[in-house]
């Protein structure tokens, strides 16, 4: 613990998000190769999960998840060292990894409707997540946009499990540029959204999520629950790609 300064912890407590700079150039280069490793994995039932979307460039990977059982580098990055220490600082107690994913947002990739993560994360009320930017993340390529000081409770939702339109319109959205290797931490009730990637380059990001270990080590239970709910689901009524337990992703299905 105590990887963060008091003013950094205060910023997170007050706003619900915090931008940190913890990786060296060589760390970042290595993490980029790990993300490329995952993207090259085949679709193998019963292991990691890949999801695809249809873009103007054709079918593209949009997300991979359940990665750490199959990648030693990612496992040690996300379950030890500064990542686990910062998550513990922000939770105020020992953290444990709850889930992990890569959102690729390749050229033409879709964005995410305004939402809080908490309704999509069963078993526990409060988590802390972060976006580890693999590529520079800007408004052009669909960076995260967050709302300050709205992480105390779950806000009214629409049928998609996203934040109700009237509430979205009443809030002030801050777009947060994150340079490649930068890490943007956010609470699971911090409202966030992102636009599509209108640029000519990918906007990849790795997202680990942590919970307090005192509430249980629930990573296996999370993936079991998610797969069970997906197996029962008949797909989204709006016909878009289902990557989450809420319907935040705006990607079109590959037909
Ligand atoms: O990667 C993004 O643009 C947004 C990700 C997000 O909000 C999510 O995966 O819940």
Q: Hey, CA dihedral for 61, 62, 68, 74, is it positive or negative?
A: positive
Nearest CA to ligand 1 atom 3: 194
* 187, 126 Cβ separation under 8 angstroms: yes
Query: What are residue 210's DSSP bridge partners?
Result: 97, 128
52 with 110: CB under 8 angstroms?
Answer: no
Question: What is the average pLDDT across 99-121?
Answer: 98
Q: 182 CA to middle of ligand 1, Å?
A: 16
CA 41 to ligand 1 center in whole angstroms: 21
Reported confidence tier of residue 125, pLDDT bands at 50, 70, 90:
confident
Q: Which two tokens stand for residue 67?
A: 């990665």
36 close to 195: Cβ distance less than 8 angstroms? no
103: pLDDT strictly greater than 60: yes
- CA 131 from centre of chain: 6
> What is the helix (H) or strand (E) element at residue 219, kind and residue range?
helix 219-232
Claim: this prediction has a pTM higher than 0.75: yes
- Nearest-CA neighbor of 127 among 106, 151, 158? 151
% of the chain beyond a pLDDT of 70: 100
Pick from 61, 139, 144 the residue to mutate for probing ligand 1's pocket: most ligand atoms within 8 Å of its CB: 144
- How many whole angstroms separate alpha carbon 43 and alpha carbon 53? 15
Closest ligand 1 atom number to CA of residue 142: 3
Q: What is the mean pLDDT of the chain?
A: 97
pLDDT at position 1: 54
* pLDDT of the residue at 126: 84
Domains, the chain, ordered by start: 6-232 (2.60.120.620)
How confident is residue 44, by pLDDT bands cut at 50, 70 and 90?
very high
Give the rounded distance of the alpha carbon of 239 from its chain centre: 22
Mutate which of 49, 248, 250, 251 for ligand 1 pocket (most atoms within 8 A of beta carbon): 248
Give yes or no for residue 247 CB within 6 A of ligand 1.
Answer: no
Order of strands, sheet of 174-175, starting from the edge strand that comes earlier in the sequence: 112-115, 192-194, 144-146, 174-175
Higher per-residue confidence, 3 vs 161: 161
Separation of CA 110 and ligand 1 centre (Å)? 10
| Residue from 162, 194, 208 whose mutation best tests the ligand 1 pocket (most atoms within 8 A of CB) | 194
Residue 135 Cβ contacting ligand 1 at under 6 Å: no
> Beta strand 174-175 with 17-20: parallel, antiparallel or unpaired?
unpaired
Calculate Rg over the CA atoms of the chain: 17
Write down how long the chain is.
Answer: 255
Nearest CA to ligand 1 atom 1: 103
pLDDT in tens, 176-199: 999 999 999 999 999 999 999 999
In 56-178 the beta strands, taken as DSSP E runs, fall at: 58-65, 95-103, 112-115, 128-133, 144-146, 174-175
pLDDT tens column, 70-89:
999 999 999 999 999 999 99
Structural contact between residues 119 and 143, judged by C-beta atoms closer than 8 angstroms: no
pLDDT at 255: 85
Task: Report, as an integer, the average pLDDT of 213-219.
Answer: 97
> What SS3 class is residue 21?
coil
Distance 103 CA to ligand 1 centre (A): 7
């Amino acid at each position: 613990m105590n990887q963060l300064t008091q003013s950094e912890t205060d910023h997170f407590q007050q706003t619900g998000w915090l931008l940190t700079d913890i990786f060296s150039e060589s760390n970042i280069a290595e993490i980029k190769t790990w993300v490329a490793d995952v993207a090259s994995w085949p679709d193998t039932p019963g292991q990691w999960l890949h999801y695809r979307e249809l873009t103007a460039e054709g079918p593209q990977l949009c997300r991979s998840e359940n990665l750490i059982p199959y990648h030693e580098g990612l496992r040690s990055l996300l379950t030890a060292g500064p990542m686990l220490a910062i998550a513990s600082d922000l939770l105020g107690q020992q953290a444990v990894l709850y889930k992990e994913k890569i959102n690729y947002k390749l050229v033409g990739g879709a964005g995410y409707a305004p939402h809080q993560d908490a309704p999509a994360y069963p078993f526990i009320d409060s988590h802390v997540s972060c976006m580890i930017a693999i590529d520079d993340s800007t408004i052009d390529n669909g960076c995260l946009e967050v709302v300050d000081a709205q992480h105390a409770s779950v806000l009214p939702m629409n049928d998609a499990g996203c934040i109700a339109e009237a509430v979205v319109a009443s809030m002030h959205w801050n777009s947060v540029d994150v340079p490649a290797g930068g890490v943007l931490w956010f609470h699971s009730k911090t409202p966030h959204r992102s636009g599509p990637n209108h640029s000519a380059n990918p906007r990849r990001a790795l997202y680990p999520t942590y919970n307090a270990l005192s509430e249980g080590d629930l990573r296996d239970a999370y993936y079991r629950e998610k797969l069970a709910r997906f197996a029962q689901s008949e797909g989204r009524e709006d016909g878009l790609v289902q990557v989450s337990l809420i319907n935040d992703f705006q990607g079109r299905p590959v037909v």
